[in-house]
Structure 1
């Protein structure tokens, strides 16, 4: 163990969104730089990109949403962060006949569509035109005098103008490989606040994986361990559950063969979406393992669960660290609670000493956290410390 020159942790930076602390530590990870000993990844074949451009009326698109053939990513909370004034100016743009930027849809093999880019805009327009009592009234318009108006309050000719607005849509063909589609999503994402990796995965995944992750993050054991992180505004809770599922299902060897965290989590999402890969019986086992891991982690670490808490460190509670979450949750999923309770002091002491003195470990949970060596080191460290007192 390489000993630190002074006790304590590196600066802990909490993620902030829309002026609010999120309760989760910023993950300082260089996702683009290849490891020194790794080969440069060969770009995918441009011939794999199949995109067609079509024009739809807004009425047509809203009908597709209502009938379920165009999905607006259920449980996706980001659309709620637009203020009424922002939503109103989008509607005003339609009324002024200002063309909107192109939308991107991904077509499924069954002919259904998912929104790749433009989710917030379409959610806003659907809420205004078809939302009824759940819609909103215009506010803060720059050029028109229709403030306080709902869609039904607008003159009929303006309602018709909105419904007949022509929207340019680029449709990604279902034969496009999923990893290429994911990369396209990241490149064209044009929202005011770019989507993070888990928000993109959520938008592009199917109901099955969404429901699995939602169930995991709604567990009382998860919310007790994470101080009620379930329903996180940036879906950090879903990402943490997905990380556990990925390592629990596929193991460290699978990550070492392709040490790119985004790709690893994409693969796990695809597995969860496929009942042939992960049958319902395996999902039930996943639930029980996750429940056990969360209960055991909180039993050991209490309010400091999944947070940096070095021996001799300053008092107070740090935000949740995702690297600690994935490594300790997997390490504790197979232990009996009574065994851990008996050895609690030894385990906690070992973990806190490591966070105070082991520079390599601090690096593994702080920066370049997707590096294969750092992932392996934090997992092996958690496994070793979980055996303290045996």
Structure 2
């Protein structure tokens, strides 16, 4: 197909509108349930009060704000693709924002800003101690301010909003998994909740010690997805067709489509059994390098991939022979099946399928 034909074909799959809307109109849509800001995102995005106050300052001064991208669902409700933090800040300031448990969030009290230092202590209409409230005129002006919206209409290709989200957030200050989490909230919020719940599993946390930085980047949730992606892997030993991050994202998108049905790709019971067994036998040393005498160094992603792939694929065998698991895991570090396919010189794209398939065979016996 020629470039012109490809452009014409793909352009027909995405239908968009764009127009300005007053904050007052947006508030009405939110109160009526016609706009979904995905409050789960608040656990991913972390604006502080200074950042929120700067947004209010921009609105008051008429400083341009980037467009807000939404997707119209079949039921007519708008899904926010890009602009969740901006809208939730506005709703929080006005005092109508509800969190992921539908609890009303306390109204925002503003901080001093570069151009409007006198904003300090101001709130919408209920003054904090020692603070002041916006006047009626200030509230009217705020609600009349315009926000630019870009709407993907419901007749567009069903994947358009997810592709757009990934493109808009590719340069954002989000870790790969934080961006993946946002995408998962839109795809299937129940699966997002389950992944978050499993990331807090005590056996998983005790056997997978992570740095504070990794914890803050949602890496623990990425490891949960990696576990299920490994379990579901049915490819060959050849390298993956995509870079691993993109491969994991695409797998997650497919898994979200079936989650909640009998064809779910998330075997939660297997996750619990695997990490219960690993934690009981090896604890925090489960995925650390063993030098023949003791375990050393930080958490190893290669060891995680190899050990969890092998144990989960042969879970009954190792539950019956749990007392032999520690020795078997220790021998991994000298096994060519592991050593030849891990390390800094092996890309994840090549490493992952080899470790998964080798591990399933390596842990298929207790010897």
TM-score normalised per structure 2: 0.77
- 1:92 corresponding residue in structure 2: 57
Residue among 24, 47, 52 paired with 1:82: 47
Q: Determine whether 1:332 maps to 2:311.
A: yes
Shift in CA distance, 111/378, structure 1 to aligned 2, threshold 3 Å: same
Paired residues, what number? 341
Shift of 1:220: 3.0
- 2:360 corresponding residue in structure 1: 383
- 2:204 corresponding residue in structure 1: 222
C-alpha distance in structure 2 between counterparts of 1:384 and 1:190, whole Å: 37
Shift in CA distance, 109/266, structure 1 to aligned 2, threshold 3 Å: farther
- The alignment partner of 1:82 has SS state of coil
Shift in CA distance, 325/198, structure 1 to aligned 2, threshold 3 Å: farther
C-alpha distance in structure 2 between counterparts of 1:248 and 1:205, whole Å: 21
C-alpha distance in structure 1 between counterparts of 2:277 and 2:247, whole Å: 26
Provide Cα deviations, 1:295-338, integer angstroms capped at 9, x if missing partner.
12323432133x441426996541462x5444433332241354
Shift in CA distance, 59/324, structure 1 to aligned 2, threshold 3 Å: farther
Q: Is the 8 A contact 1:255 1:264 kept in 2?
A: no
Residue among 144, 159, 182 paired with 2:162: 182
Provide Cα deviations, 1:328-349, integer angstroms capped at 9, x if missing partner.
3333224135434232243122
- The alignment partner of 2:115 has SS state of coil
Q: Determine whether 1:103 maps to 2:82.
A: no
Deviates more, 1:125-134 or 1:53-62: 125-134
C-alpha distance in structure 2 between counterparts of 1:303 and 1:138, whole Å: 44
TM-score normalised per structure 1: 0.73
Shift in CA distance, 359/338, structure 1 to aligned 2, threshold 3 Å: closer
Structure 1: runs of 5+ lacking an equivalent? 1-41
- The alignment partner of 1:68 has SS state of coil
- 2:139 corresponding residue in structure 1: 159
Deviates more, 1:72-81 or 1:234-243: 72-81
C-alpha distance in structure 1 between counterparts of 2:45 and 2:108, whole Å: 12
CA RMSD of aligned residues (A): 3.7
- 1:27 corresponding residue in structure 2: none
Residue among 89, 110, 113 paired with 1:141: 113
Shift of 1:193: 1.5
Deviates more, 1:76-85 or 1:99-108: 76-85
C-alpha distance in structure 1 between counterparts of 2:295 and 2:200, whole Å: 29
- 2:267 corresponding residue in structure 1: 286
Residue among 267, 273, 277 paired with 1:296: 277
Structure 2: runs of 5+ lacking an equivalent? 1-5, 98-103, 126-132
- The alignment partner of 1:45 has SS state of helix
Provide Cα deviations, 1:150-201, integer angstroms capped at 9, x if missing partner.
1111111111122222111111233444554333223223876146342342
Higher alpha-carbon Rg: 2
Q: Which has the higher contact order (CA 8 A, sep 6+)?
A: 1
C-alpha distance in structure 2 between counterparts of 1:99 and 1:314, whole Å: 59
- 2:222 corresponding residue in structure 1: 239
Provide Cα deviations, 1:52-90, integer angstroms capped at 9, x if missing partner.
212222233233334433222333345652222111111
C-alpha distance in structure 2 between counterparts of 1:229 and 1:303, whole Å: 13
- 2:183 corresponding residue in structure 1: 201
